[in-house]
Amino acid sequence: MSEGEKTGFISKMIGPKKRWRAYKARVKELPENYRTAVEAIERYLMYFVPIDADSNALTFEDLADLFEQAAVNGTPIREIVGEDPVEFAEAFAQNYTEGGYVPARARKQLADDIERAAGPETGTQDKTV
């Protein structure tokens, strides 16, 4: 099998397997609600496949960095993603790629997953003073 054959669909989607496994191990170490949020955003970002695998690997590594820092600082999930997680994910993805087609079902699933991860204490509270 040639080197070109070894770098198939998975490598194009997520980058080198070693980097993907390292990213997944980092996500697994997050507190449950942060892990749930990262996994939801990850699923959504899979629709934004960059041209090269290194960009995609970097996207997910940066996502892990963001949520690791937030977990350490105790930053609520809604302070990270805001009230519209779809808008957050799309803006995040635009830093790495031109984007792709995202079905409405995926947008709703992301919003529902973030709502579940954010929980009642960080949900849609009125923050007006």
pLDDT at residue 5, rounded to an integer: 41
pLDDT at residue 58, rounded to an integer: 85
Question: What is the identity of the amino acid at 85?
Answer: P
pLDDT at residue 119, rounded to an integer: 86
Separation between Cα atoms, residue 104 and residue 58, nearest integer Å: 26
Contacts for 100-108 with beta carbons within 8 Å, 24 or more apart? 100/47, 100/48, 100/49, 101/47, 102/44, 102/47, 102/48, 103/47, 106/43, 106/44, 106/47, 107/44
CB 129 within 8 A of CB 52: no
Q: Which residue in this structure is represented by tokens 């709502």?
A: 115
Separation between Cα atoms, residue 98 and residue 95, nearest integer Å: 8
pLDDT at residue 13, rounded to an integer: 54
pTM of the model: 0.72
Regions of the chain where pLDDT drops below 50: 1-6, 122-129
CB 115 within 8 A of CB 108: no
List the structure tokens of 19. 């980097």
